[in-house]
Chains A and B, each alone.
Chain A
């Protein structure tokens, strides 16, 4: 409540009853606003901006910055003026107020700092300068907001990317760790397998050695009930060397026993005789084959008499296949055709013996399975 009404004077330009006491402020009919003095060109609204009022009826110039050119105290009665509710809003306006000097005599202006939305501070009683950088600030704010938005987006993006990268790195790390563990397990497994393989190999070698030694320490004369070819050759060699057929088994056993070899099986004198006969037929077949394959040959013969009986030995000389070589090389050989008694010492009988010997060998050869297979390769097993 503002009470300033002097006695009988009321100056409310708005015509309103502002006196709460119901006292007419201008009872003498004195118009304090004489005609012709337009002090309020706006018709009762003395200050559309509610900033300043002029109680002296002087034309005040709300736009001219100077409202009291006379330097009169507009409130010479010690009127207490309270200005409140003044509100100034300046948006986007750059206002410079300078050079204004306000002198107030005896007037108490109860002003208080008012906060302008732009953040400016109004100082009363001195030079007031308004630097309205609202647009700049707005622009800066917008830029700031944009930067904040971009920064926020960047932070969000980087956070998400960092999170994704971290997760990927953790996943890779876990995968690597898993693979490393698997590889370590595999290495351990392979190392164990390697050692086991070495041990198995050594064991197999030792077993094979023991088996070979055991096999070497035992000689089998026969295999599945049939005398082996080695036994055949050994019997013929011993018989050719002069061993008796009845003692060949004993000789074989004794010789092998002295070498630390146990003989499995035995061979009888009948088997020895059969082996020797087989050797004779094999020799005849071999002789027939070699004579057939030879390019040329020569014969030799010599005869002697024993107790009125003539004996004649016969040999044939030729180039034969070298059975010890694998390249089909040929070597000279002398083949024994036998010692045969003949009736007399005539040349005719000698030639007849030659013919008989040759024909017998060729006959055996021609009838042998060896020659049959040679003539008919389809018969070979």
Chain B
């Protein structure tokens, strides 16, 4: 989990180190919950990226094709997907890739033992 020199540090690397947030009112308590969700997203993203890096190209291709198929079905079929503007399709593709990582990260997190989960 520790980031060392040699690679650029990003937002995810900082958020996975976050262990809590101090607030003094109800509104900021809500901000803290929001920050907790952001932390969970960052943990899943981190674990998902590590899981993708450990998979082979065929497995990654299979995951992408499966996510592509689900995305097309969610858009209402291949014809409707093709009719969408490119910007929308680009956003949806980015969201699709992110979701792939999130799903893999969630699976990896669930497989961790409680002590390892506590570290995150």
Chain A residues within 8 Å of B5, by CB = 371, 374-375
Question: Nearest chain A CB to B120's CB is how many angstroms away?
Answer: 10
Chain A residues within 8 Å of B19, by CB = 296-298
Q: List 18 A-B contacts (CB under 8 A).
A: A288-B9, A295-B17, A296-B18, A298-B20, A300-B23, A301-B31, A302-B23, A302-B28, A303-B28, A345-B27, A347-B30, A351-B34, A351-B35, A351-B38, A358-B14, A359-B11, A362-B11, A375-B5
- Complex contact A299–B21 (CB within 8 A): yes
- Complex contact A365–B34 (CB within 8 A): no
Supposing A299-B22, A300-B23 touch, asked if A354 and B35 sit within 8 A by C-beta, the answer is yes
A374 CA to B5 CA, complexed, in Å: 6
A371 CA to B27 CA, complexed, in Å: 37
Supposing A298-B18, A298-B19, A301-B23 touch, asked if A292 and B9 sit within 8 A by C-beta, the answer is yes
Q: Does B10 contact A (CB under 8 A)?
A: yes
Chain B residues within 8 Å of A348, by CB = 34
A375 CA to B4 CA, complexed, in Å: 10
Chain B residues within 8 Å of A350, by CB = 28, 31, 34
Interface residues on B, range: 20 to 34
Question: Nearest chain B CB to A77's CB is how many angstroms away?
Answer: 166
Chain A residues within 8 Å of B7, by CB = 375
> Taking beta carbons and an 8 Å cutoff, which residues of B are in contact with A?
2-3, 5-11, 13-15, 17-24, 27-28, 30-31, 33-35, 38
A375 CA to B34 CA, complexed, in Å: 33
Chain B residues within 8 Å of A296, by CB = 17-19
Which residue from A294, A351, A366, A375 sits with its C-beta under 8 Å from B31? A351
Chain A residues within 8 Å of B28, by CB = 301-303, 350
Question: Nearest chain B CB to A322's CB is how many angstroms away?
Answer: 19
Question: Nearest chain A CB to B41's CB is how many angstroms away?
Answer: 11
Which residue from B8, B9, B14, B22 sits with its C-beta under 8 Å from A300? B22
Question: Nearest chain B CB to A328's CB is how many angstroms away?
Answer: 15
Q: Does A291 contact B (CB under 8 A)?
A: yes
Question: Nearest chain B CB to A298's CB is how many angstroms away?
Answer: 4
Closest to B13 in A: A292
Q: Does A308 contact B (CB under 8 A)?
A: no
Question: Nearest chain A CB to B1's CB is how many angstroms away?
Answer: 8
Main secondary structure of the interface of A (DSSP, over half): helix
Supposing A299-B18, A302-B28 touch, asked if A362 and B38 sit within 8 A by C-beta, the answer is no
Closest to B7 in A: A375
Supposing A348-B34, A374-B5, A375-B5 touch, asked if A301 and B21 sit within 8 A by C-beta, the answer is yes
Question: Nearest chain A CB to B16's CB is how many angstroms away?
Answer: 10
- A355-381 contacts to B, CB under 8 A, are 355, 358-359, 362, 365-366, 371, 374-375
- Complex contact B10–A362 (CB within 8 A): yes
Question: Nearest chain B CB to A374's CB is how many angstroms away?
Answer: 5
Chain A residues within 8 Å of B35, by CB = 299, 351, 354
Question: Nearest chain B CB to A354's CB is how many angstroms away?
Answer: 7
- Complex contact A358–B34 (CB within 8 A): no
- Complex contact B9–A347 (CB within 8 A): no
Question: Nearest chain A CB to B105's CB is how many angstroms away?
Answer: 19
Closest to B15 in A: A358
A355 CA to B23 CA, complexed, in Å: 17
A294 CA to B35 CA, complexed, in Å: 19
- Complex contact A358–B11 (CB within 8 A): yes
- Complex contact B8–A366 (CB within 8 A): yes
Closest to A354 in B: B35
Chain A residues within 8 Å of B31, by CB = 301, 347, 350-351
A301 CA to B22 CA, complexed, in Å: 7
Supposing A296-B19, A297-B19 touch, asked if A302 and B13 sit within 8 A by C-beta, the answer is no
A288 CA to B27 CA, complexed, in Å: 28
Question: Nearest chain A CB to B5's CB is how many angstroms away?
Answer: 5
Question: Nearest chain B CB to A161's CB is how many angstroms away?
Answer: 91
